Chain A
Amino acid sequence: MTYKTLPKPAQSNKQVKEYVDAVRQGSNGRFVIPNGKGWYVRRADSRTSELFGTKSEAIAHAQAEVKEHKAELFIFDKNGQLTDRQAV
């Protein structure tokens, strides 16, 4: 199996620009996600996270971060469903 890289789409391509803008805008957001060990907070585009004992501790920490970065907070349940979305 090999890959052939396609020519980069034009920067002026409206649909590509909207997609990239959505990713750029969302990357700074914070996810609050439950796990068996507690509640994790992580930057949306990161695979590393901080663990908190309670949901309220996790949300408070995430709210401070999104305020600093002018981003959005997304709170999920254990089934991956969005329970709250906050623009702080």
Chain B
Amino acid sequence: MPKVHDRGGWPNDDPIDRSEHIMDEWERRVDSLNSVLGEKGLKNTDQLRRAIESLTQDQYESLSYYEKWTVAMETLLVEQGVMTTDEIDQKMVDLENGTQ
């Protein structure tokens, strides 16, 4: 049974969807953050891949590309002790409420 990301030859009859979505600003930032953190030696491509591969099949298939990167980035940053899940939860609340 191949792993969730190992897709070569998975049964799939879907046509190739050629529509392109315009990148949202948050996606652009995630893409950038990935490179910034890489340049600072805080993560590498292999770690990002490994973190994405640890998603469940359901997550892997339902989350968009940059949503997956966001989950992976959290995994890596928490793993390295840069931040905690609780801090991220709290920051989300703060940003929503406008309280920095």
Q: Do A and B come from one complex?
A: no
A residues with CB within 8 A of B: none
B residues with CB within 8 A of A: none
